Amino acid sequence: GQQLNQSPQSMFIQEGEDVSMNCTSSSIFNTWLWYKQDPGEGPVLLIALYKAGELTSNGRLTAQFGITRKDSFLNISASIPSDVGIYFCAAYNAGNNRKLIWGLGTSLAVNP
């Protein structure tokens, strides 16, 4: 079946550092979504990407829809303690808009 390979699986960084994570696949997708999940809560949407090559920012967060439509990355600049959580990528199959495929998540820890 379709898979999203999300990396890294976990990160432990110092406050102020920049963070980069990505999702790749052998399949083509027409929408990429990035979510953040705090412990004990539901995922919250950070950024949605709809076009190949699209680069979108949300505050200190920047995400890009890969030009091949098979990958996406999320960058966080100048990390702060409240960035701690699990970040998930998710994408809709280009051929079937009904199914949302999820990455396994990147767990981020920030040392103040």
Partner 1 sequence: EADIYQTPRYLVIGTGKKITLECSQTMGHDKMYWYQQDPGMELHLIHYSYGVNSTEKGDLSSESTVSRIRTEHFPLTLESARPSHTSQYLCASRPGQGSSGANVLTFGAGSRLTVL
Residues that bind partner 1 (CB under 8 A): 31, 33, 35, 40-45, 48, 50, 86, 88, 90, 92, 97, 100, 102-105, 107
We find the least distance from the C-beta atom of residue 112 to partner 1, in angstroms, to be 21
Q: State both tokens at 103.
A: 């990455």
Residue 70's CB is within 10 A of a number of other CB atoms, namely: 17
Residue closer to partner 1 (CB basis): 77 or 93: 93
Query: For residues 89 and 63, is the Cβ–Cβ distance under 8 A?
Result: no
Residue closer to partner 1 (CB basis): 33 or 76: 33
Residue closer to partner 1 (CB basis): 97 or 111: 97
d(CA 94, CA 96): 6
Amino acid letter for position 105 = G
Beta bridge partners of 107: 10, 86
We find the least distance from the C-beta atom of residue 100 to partner 1, in angstroms, to be 7
Question: Beta strands 10-14 and 106-111: pairing type?
Answer: parallel
We find the least distance from the C-beta atom of residue 31 to partner 1, in angstroms, to be 5
Residue closer to partner 1 (CB basis): 13 or 104: 104
